[in-house]
Chains A and B, each alone.
Chain A
Amino acid sequence: MGKNISIRGGTAASADYLLEARGITKMYGDLAANNDVTLKIAPGEIHALLGENGAGKSTLVKIIYGSIQPTDGELYWLGEKVHIANPAAARNLGVGMVFQHFSLFEALNVAENIALALPKDIDIEDLSEKISEVSQEYGLPLEPTALVADLSVGERQRIEIVRCLLQEPRLLIMDEPTAVLTPQEADQLFLTLERLASEGCAVLYISHRLDEVKRLCHDATILRMGKVVGHVDPQQETAASLARLMVGADVHAINANREYNPGETLLKLNALCQDADGPFGVSLLDINLDVKAGEVVAIAGVAGNGQSELFDAISGERVSSSTSTIRIDGRDSGLDNITTRRKNGAGFVPEERLGHGAVPGLSLSENIVLTRHSDDDGLSKSGFLDRESAVAINERITRDYDVRKGKPDPEARSLSGGNLQKFVVGRELDRKPKVLVINQPTWGVDAGAAALIRQAMIDLALSGSAVLVISQDLDEIFEIADRIAVISRGQLSDAYASNELSLEKIGLLMAGEHEKKTTVQDEKVSA
């Protein structure tokens, strides 16, 4: 394979491409996760696949790796049509994949973990030698006898890469590889990938970090809502133009007819820091934010940048290390547990409805008790439950928030996503909280329910409460928020008035423009 093959020649015959995906469509019910997607990767190029969460990147990659089958469309490998039935078939073709979340056995050492993934009976001594060889050659220092449990996340990723390299791949897929790496580890990874590309191995690099893509990639395909919206040379683009392509131009600020008279600060985050919880967690770094009475503040960002960690810290599911980091309605609450924070006037709606916001196997009235057992309305009197009151509250909430259900008090799991979301939101709004923190309020919810929930949040702010919305949905954010901040790798930007914030700016912030580059994140080493 030649080095540095020219990749932008439009007249090239299809056999010049290592992999070509034509017209790939994947339907999930009525939703097109991929819609007529075309992707061409030449040998030796580093090809970026860009897009927001839910844009269809993972779906496309899973189709190439054989984990799922497309509804329509064809794959060509070196110009020949192929059917990739499963990941083993993909590996036989020469496709290797490094997943974002690795599957390694902590109790085994490096060589044993790699041996498990290899098909044949392999002598572990020979393998260890080969591992040392490959890891040295590609600048991926690895000790074959080291126990995985003792390794950092970056080192664990190296195991996965070496595992792929041993199978001599011709296309290496990297799914958000730097999400779990320190900046130094990321630099090292880029050198390795460049080396691989120079030897003719193609790399499909999935990311939303524009600076990395500009620095590393020769070519970029941009997906939005399942469709290819751009095919560009990242070197020719600015981070801003890439951001605009990724976020889309169809986002409008429609926040006009509302007066904005914020009152006193009801929720204050004050230099909130928190270590990551486990190897795939995100640590929070020096987060500062005020949310005032009468306003809706939104936190935008790509999923997995610390949103759920931030939610847990504000709700008190993870208690902070000092009391002043979180102030709810004038009271330092950093050390309070979630029940105390609720009593102090806060309400919380988590991202996961089933299993976090509600217990699937319990009835709705029992799920009322879940967050309201310590309220003043007496659902629990000296340790005994008042089930009749819970049933009455449930009737009120399901009526007021239009929760559609088959029988009066069904199990939570029998409700559709939209109706259950109306229930968990309604359960908190019904308490008239002074501070409402809500994570992904309309995720996976139908349009009607989403509109009702957004209206309810605005109404709550109008009645004088402070509302903090964490969302990935920029349409939603511009529709309801007075001010917007962006979270990226556990760092929160300043909050900007939503009518002053351009899409370009928000895209740059999502890509981490505000991150303090000097701060070396001493990110979580292995547990």
Chain B
Amino acid sequence: MKLVLDKRSEHSELMTLMSPVLAIVLTVITGAIIFAVQGLNPFSALFVYFVEPLTSLWSIEEVLVKAAPLILIGAGLSVCYMANVWNIGAEGQLTMGALAGSFVPIVFSSWQSPLTLVVMLIMGALGGAAFAAIPAFLKNRFNANEILTSLMLVYIAQLILDWVVRGPWRDPKGFNFPQSISFEGWQLMPTLGEGRVHIGIILAVIAVVILTILMSRTLKGFEILVIGNAPRAGRFAGFSRKKIVWFTLLLSGGLAGLAGIGEVAGPSGQLQTAISPGYGFTAIIVAFLGRLNPIGVLFAGVMLAITYIGGEAAQIDLGVSDKTAQVFQGVLLFFILACDTLILYRIKLLASKIKPQQHVAAE
């Protein structure tokens, strides 16, 4: 007997939905094994990770704060990946968006009007899009692989941020800490209620709605789908692959930039050397867990935000490394990609057949 993968005639709707569920279950089982090996009770550890973040108002709010950038970036990336354009440099676009958006409150620090925030958000989105334009240009002009270029640009963006907050934009009254002045009034994202939840989560939901319409109802969304699925057919349809590369990279870069300025003008309130716990990378997992579908990304963003909060809680309660959360995220992506095989294939048991012998007669 042996197991073989048998190609389905069409993709399976059921497995498209069940693959992430299956992946989450497998991740939880793997997590339990990891905790058990570390000598922890796997059940209480998993409870701390995945359930406790939803048991108090404070932690639910924290989940939403972290879900906002994940959803914004993940929704943009899902459109990008649909087009077979692999932007994995959202972390860098987020950083450049944060820098560009912070230009207003730092350079014109006394300007206070509702427009201030609007200009900050627009500049943030433009900054992210401009940074994503670099891999787009390199891909279209020189056929340079965007996976490599966008990833390498992440480190460039982070070093620029590091230099700026230690150098020109350092708060003169900040006791030499590497951070900018604190933003105030209309330089900050308005909060919803008393806690730290800010309007970023609303922006994320709006982005999801717009991108859902884009992908399901418009010719542009159709072009993205066709170019991503079958570029030759796209050319036959008269669609330009280069235009789609521009469009998807600028869109995902812009949304990442928006998430970046949302972080700086939101929970952080100033520029620091580290403004994101890897949202740009985690959003890649969000996009895949959400089936490259903006609405799916909404749920996946919340799911991944929980692992962040759970990771923090586990660090405090259980004394495990904060890297454990990243292990979970990586394992999850691994299982999703593996389970996605089942969308186009089914597993079949075959009675083993005698293979033809591999001998050569008479030389």
Contact = CB atoms under 8 A, between A and B. Distances in A.
Nearest to A411: B10
Contacts of B363: 92-93
B225 interface: yes
A322 B127 CA distance: 40
Interface stretch (B52-60, B178-186, B216-224, B313-321): B216-224
Interface string B1-36: 000000001110000000000000000000000000
A84 B359 CA distance: 8
Interface in A224-250: none
Interface in A491-527: none
B245 to A, nearest CB: 18
A373 B233 contact: no
A145 interface: no
Contacts of B356: 69, 85
B231 to A, nearest CB: 9
A377 interface: no
Interface in A342-379: 342, 348, 350, 352, 355-362, 366, 369-371, 373-374
Interface centre among B229, B238, B360 (most CB of A within 10 A): B238
Interface residues of A, number: 44
B237 A371 contact: yes
A93 B363 CA distance: 6
A110 B109 CA distance: 63
B110 interface: no
Interface string A378-419: 001001110000000000000000000000001101100000
B348 interface: no
B233 A385 contact: no
A81 interface: yes
Interface centre among A69, A337, A413 (most CB of B within 10 A): A413
B209 interface: no
B236 interface: yes
B358 interface: yes
Contacts of B222: 366, 369, 373, 385
A93 B358 CA distance: 15
Given A362-B225, A413-B10, A370 B237 contact: yes
Contacts, number: 95
B230 A359 contact: yes
A82 interface: yes
A358 B237 CA distance: 9
B144 to A, nearest CB: 15
A384 B219 contact: yes
Contacts of A317: 235-236
A379 to B, nearest CB: 9
B349 interface: no
A81 B361 CA distance: 8
Nearest to B214: A383
Contacts of A356: 230, 232-233, 236
A92 B359 CA distance: 12
A315 B233 CA distance: 13
B232 A352 contact: yes
Contacts of A138: none
Interface string A312-349: 00011100000000000000000001110010000010
B80 to A, nearest CB: 18
B360 A92 contact: yes
A380 B217 CA distance: 10
Interface string A67-96: 001000000010011111110010011000
B14 to A, nearest CB: 15
A287 to B, nearest CB: 21
Contacts of B85: none
Contacts of B219: 369, 373, 380, 383-385
Given A383-B218, A385-B219, A385-B222, A360 B361 contact: no
A85 B360 contact: yes
B357 A85 contact: yes
A209 B58 CA distance: 80
B354 interface: no
A411 B357 contact: no
B362 interface: yes
Contacts of B358: 85-86
Contacts of A411: 9-11
Contacts of A366: 222, 225
A86 B11 CA distance: 35
B136 interface: no
Contacts of B229: 359-362
Contacts of B233: 355-359, 370
Interface string B188-231: 00000000000000000000000000000111101001100110
Interface of B: 9-11, 217-220, 222, 225-226, 229-230, 232-233, 235-238, 356-363
26 contacts: A69-B356, A81-B362, A82-B360, A83-B357, A85-B357, A85-B358, A86-B358, A89-B360, A92-B360, A93-B363, A316-B238, A317-B236, A342-B238, A350-B236, A355-B232, A356-B236, A359-B229, A361-B11, A361-B230, A362-B229, A370-B226, A370-B237, A371-B236, A374-B238, A384-B218, A384-B219
- The 8 residue pairs across chains A and B that have the minimum distance between CB atoms: A339-B238, A89-B360, A414-B9, A80-B362, A359-B230, A338-B238, A380-B219, A411-B10
Interface of A: 69, 77, 80-86, 89, 92-93, 315-317, 337-339, 342, 348, 350, 352, 355-362, 366, 369-371, 373-374, 380, 383-385, 410-411, 413-414
Given A350-B236, A360-B229, 20 more contacts: A82-B361, A85-B356, A85-B359, A85-B360, A93-B363, A316-B238, A317-B235, A338-B237, A338-B238, A342-B238, A356-B230, A356-B236, A358-B233, A361-B229, A362-B229, A366-B222, A366-B225, A384-B219, A385-B218, A385-B219
